[in-house]
Amino acid sequence: MKNRKILIIIVVSILISLLFVSCRMIAYKNYSKVFGRVDEFNENRFTSYFTWKEIDQDRYFREEIFFYSGINKLQGFIYGTKNNNGLVVISEGLGGTADSYFPLITYFVDKGWCVFAFNNTGVSGSEGEGTQGLYQSVIDLDAALTFIERENRFTNLPVMLVGHSWGGFAVCAVLNYPHRVSAVVSFAGFNSCHEVLEEIGYSYAGKKINMLKPYLEKIENQRFGDAVQVTAIDGINKTDIPVMIVQCSDDSVIRTKTTSIYAHREKITNPNVQIVYRDGDNATGHQRVYASSKQQEYIKWANSNWKTYYQAAHKKASLTQWAREVNFNKALANEIDTNLMNCINDFFIKARTENNP
């Protein structure tokens, strides 16, 4: 009987150990999948976004630069080098690249701003085996701002931050660092790394995330330490500079009632925060928070038309061929809400004036 109890204890111990190892491996595999390299913005295949080759390169000439974030060399681009309104720094969303934001880049250049857009660790022309994790966007933005502050040509330019999603979190959380920033606009930004990690994990693993959550958090803590506890609200409240939070009611990625900065708005103490809540016809989802209603209508039509085309071709259709046949209007597919963007431009000009009387 005694030997049997010992055997049961040994078997149970082995099973627990196997479960522990299995959960850790699954957590690491899913984490690596979510935060792998992003090299998908390929100029040689069809994309609904503009590519560099499709931009007026004389009007929007860009200077390629490199700077370091930790051990990795990151790629950045400076547009409107002769503009003197100020410097707009754009922080990208997860899964996108710096080139995904040409509608914003060209808008700000046309309004007289110098623009600095860069690829985070593990993205496009930047080094890194992967994007590392949610807090990496803050680390990379911190490195970008440090680079900017060491460049003499930017000394007299007020710095404005614009971020989307992952970058929307970064532009607020980076305010915990002592940088020279005059104003911030966060599009669809989230508040907490842990909250989003849990929600992303649930979308991948369902209720199993409850078993994997401790291991996912351990990976984050090992990579970023106590920094993962910092929230966007912490950064917003650590300063009194103007901050604009833009959130769409129909955002299915950074949700209005759970993970978004907007969902935590009651915790904001910074008196200079402005919230723009886009609903009704102005609600344009997550990927293009700043898009026009016409853009949304066109994208819906395009998606429906492509689905029909794809099914008619027995799922062997070419997206590039379809785009050619329907004369896909990329300008309309990327049309911004000029009223919203003009408000942001005015917001930045006011911040520039108040900080540089």
Residue 351 lies in a domain: yes
The span from the first CA to the last CA of the chain, in angstroms, equals 87
pLDDT tens across the length of the chain (357 residues): 555 545 444 444 443 343 344 445 555 566 667 788 988 666 667 888 998 889 999 999 999 999 999 999 999 999 999 999 999 999 999 999 999 999 999 999 999 999 999 999 999 999 999 999 999 999 999 999 999 999 999 999 999 999 999 999 999 999 999 999 999 999 999 999 988 887 776 666 666 556 666 766 777 788 888 888 899 999 999 999 999 999 999 999 999 999 999 999 999 999 999 999 999 989 999 999 999 999 999 999 999 999 999 998 877 888 989 999 999 999 999 999 999 999 999 999 999 988 664
**In the numeric block, which tokens belong to residue 25?**
């491996």
The pLDDT assigned to 229 comes to 85
Residue 350 lies in a domain: yes
State the CB neighbour count (10 A cutoff) for residue 151: 14
Contact (CB, 8 A) for 289 and 164: yes
* Same domain for 65 and 143: yes
Name the DSSP class of 347.
Answer: H
Contact (CB, 8 A) for 265 and 237: no
Cα gap 75→142, rounded to integer Å: 14
Residue 214 lies in a domain: no
* Same domain for 145 and 69: yes
* Same domain for 315 and 184: no
Residue 213 lies in a domain: no
**In the numeric block, which tokens belong to residue 150?**
């060491």
- Structural domain of 327: 293-335
* Same domain for 72 and 91: yes
* Same domain for 254 and 237: yes
Cα gap 290→106, rounded to integer Å: 14
Residue 101 lies in a domain: yes
* Same domain for 140 and 92: yes
The pLDDT assigned to 23 comes to 45
Classified as helix, coil or strand, 337 is: coil
The pLDDT assigned to 180 comes to 94
Name the DSSP class of 177.
Answer: S
* Same domain for 134 and 104: yes
* Same domain for 328 and 238: no
Those residues with Cβ within 8 angstroms of residue 154's Cβ, 6 or more apart along the chain or in another chain:
87, 114, 148
Residue 117 lies in a domain: yes
* Same domain for 257 and 305: no
DSSP string, 274-301: EEEEE-GGG--TTTTTTB-HHHHHHHHH
Which residue has 């309309």 as its token pair? 332
Overall number of domains in the chain: 2
The pLDDT assigned to 15 comes to 39
* Same domain for 269 and 239: yes
CATH number of the domain at 113, please. 3.40.50.1820
* Same domain for 112 and 70: yes
* Same domain for 274 and 157: yes
Give alpha helix (H) positions in 35-126.
102-110
Cα gap 270→253, rounded to integer Å: 26
